[in-house]
Amino acid sequence: MAQTGTVVDIKDRGYANAEILVSTDWVAEHLKDPKIRIVESNEDMLLYPSGHIPGAVQIDWTADLNDPINRDYIDGEQFAALMQKNGITPETTVVFYGDKSNWWASYALWVFRLFGHQNARLMDGGRLKWEKEGREMTREVPKYEAADYPVPRRDDTRIRAFRDQVLQHVKSGKKLVDVRSNPEFTGERLHMEDYPNEGALRGGHIPGAKNVPWARAVNTENGTFKTAAELRDIYEKEQGLSQNDDVVVYCRIGERSSLTWLVLTELLGYPTVRNYDGSWTEWGNGVGLPIEKP
Amino acid sequence: MTEKLEELLEVFSGISDRGERAELLIELADQFREVPERIATRPFPESHRVQRCESEAYVWAEPQDDGGLKYHFAVENPQGISARAMAVILDEALSGASPEEAEKVPTDICFTFFGKDLSMGKGQGLMGMVTLLKGLAKQYALARDRSSQ
């Protein structure tokens, strides 16, 4: 099996909730486990049909999780239908993985949490680690028997933040983490490199936000997460956050910040972290919203 | 625009189902053949590298006896399926055509092949492939015209 750099065992990394992550080895051992559903979530629509982990289904953030008209997520009924279609019950352990160091997989996991599906995990290292290790991939799309999933209520209060709430958060001087790249944070660039469609009229950041680009939480060589001690060095020693802070994270549309939400909430055990999915595409275009430029 | 390109555009503009589109693109990507060694070997020169392409794609143009150009490609990222599909499309549609015909190809044809929900990141890379191919065709035509004067 190809080497992808030394990886510290997940249980030895000091995470608040080590169970949120599973290793590629663990996934390989649970491919046929009926209590597990492996879900691939990508940015690139061609990756899943070109080959995926045997037994994995695809949940696409655009086609499956977003409302096709309103800028919002699907509702409880649509979520229940999506679960039924993919043979997922409220008891099923859903294991997410995907491209781009699990950006979209983290986003999907966060949306599942909005609907109260707690039994969700992320495959450390994502799709690329699985591929680099030369593990089995298939083009066969599995069919699962329709499962029973009661219609859940979407809870937007605990882990999701809206524009007006963020404005109050700013006025109260509470903590914000901007996970975009530094040129986006400083306002030098109005959109992420290569994503001009997701730009904004104004450059800069939400007043008081700390800039910690999302990628600092992962090891570049294999996409696995850094240890809790390494993460604390970044978010706490360097940026001055502490576990009991009320934190809002954001990026451009809320996908990169889902990964940081997961790091703070699950890996470091912060109880109050909300993802502002309106993010810079809303704030940077919003009339009258305060902006800070360095 | 070449007849072959028009045919391909017509096939793809008739597809509304995402799954069907993905399947067709993957079938094309599977037909990808990397640039032969007689044209280029690693490390590939930066001058043939597509700008803003996250799949690290390269393009070459090889003159044919009849005055047309044959295009060759390399895609270094193993996950670069879109780039490989685009390479096969461009090769099928434009190889053998005159450089003047290649120059006329609109850069944004990738949105017809990949759909309007193609992410901007991918869109930039795929448009970059067309831009580089057109640039190579233009360079060739200029050199040819200069030498015939």
Beta pairing partners, A122 = A21, A96
Q: Are B35 and B74 in contact (CB under 8 A)?
A: yes
CA distance A62 to chain B (A): 9
Concatenated DSSP letters for A7-30?
Answer: ---GGGS--TTGGGEE-HHHHHHT
Q: Tell me how far apart the alpha carbons of residues B11 and B24 are, in angstroms, rounded to a whole number.
A: 10
Q: Are A108 and A41 in contact (CB under 8 A)?
A: yes
- Pairwise CB contact (< 8 Å): A44 & B81: yes
Q: Could you tell me if B120 lies within 8 Å of chain A, comparing CB atoms? A: yes
Residues of chain A with Cβ-Cβ distance to B22 below 8 Å are: 45-46, 49
Q: What is the pLDDT along chain B (149 residues), one digit of tens a residue?
A: 799 999 999 999 999 888 899 999 999 999 999 999 999 999 999 999 998 888 899 999 999 999 999 999 999 988 899 999 999 999 999 999 999 999 999 998 999 999 877 877 788 889 999 999 999 999 999 999 998 87
Q: Could you tell me if A146 lies within 8 Å of chain B, comparing CB atoms? A: no
The interface pTM score, or ipTM, of the predicted complex is: 0.78
Q: Tell me how far apart the alpha carbons of residues A78 and A67 are, in angstroms, rounded to a whole number.
A: 9
Beta pairing partners, A247 = A175, A273
H helix or E strand, kind and range, residue B86:
helix B81-94
- State the pLDDT at residue A2: 47
What's the alpha-carbon Rg for chain A, to the nearest Å?
A: 19
**Report field, pTM of the whole predicted structure over 0.90:** no
List, in order, residues 6 or more apart from B78 with CB less than 8 Å away.
Answer: A131
H helix or E strand, kind and range, residue B8:
helix B3-13
A90 catalytic residue (yes or no): no
DSSP state of A160: B
Q: What is the pLDDT along chain A (294 residues), one digit of tens a residue?
A: 444 567 899 999 999 999 999 999 999 999 999 999 999 999 888 999 999 999 999 999 888 999 989 999 999 999 999 999 999 999 999 999 999 899 999 999 999 999 999 999 999 999 999 999 999 999 999 999 999 999 999 999 999 999 999 999 999 999 999 999 898 899 887 765 555 555 678 899 999 999 999 999 999 888 999 999 999 999 999 999 999 999 999 999 999 999 999 999 999 999 999 999 999 999 999 999 999 987
Phi, psi of A68 (to 5 degrees): -70, -20
Concatenated DSSP letters for B89-133?
Answer: HHHHHHTTS-HHHHHTS-GGGHHHHH-TT--HHHHHHHHHHHHHH
